Amino acid sequence: MKAVTANRLSDGAVLYAGPNGALVERFEHAQLFEEADAEAALSGVLAQKTAIASAYLIDAATSGPVGREALREAIRKNGPTVRRDLGKQAEAADERL
């Protein structure tokens, strides 16, 4: 399975292609594509040139990115690996409280 990921131009947030061509922020809402349909989905996201940057395909399963992309995608999704008090990683800590 494949997923399409990109970054939102306005704030750099990680996005995924969701149902009906929507862009979603959470992988849990992303649509997974069979190999044959993945390129068409990527083309649809790439057409949104004024909203996104750096769209590409990743190997994925319902649990999240898999294979060699898993670590890179975890860092993209969760923020930098330093300063746990800033960015998305700080927000995640607040949610756990």
pLDDT means per 10 residues, the chain with 97 residues, are: 94 92 93 94 93 92 85 77 70 58
Identify the pLDDT of residue 59.
92
pTM: 0.77
Per-residue pLDDT at 81: 66
Provide the pLDDT for residue 21.
84
pLDDT of residue 62: 87
Please name the residues in contact with 92: beta carbons below 8 A apart, sequence gap of 6 or more: 78
40: its two tokens: 């068409």
Domain ranges of the chain: 2-96
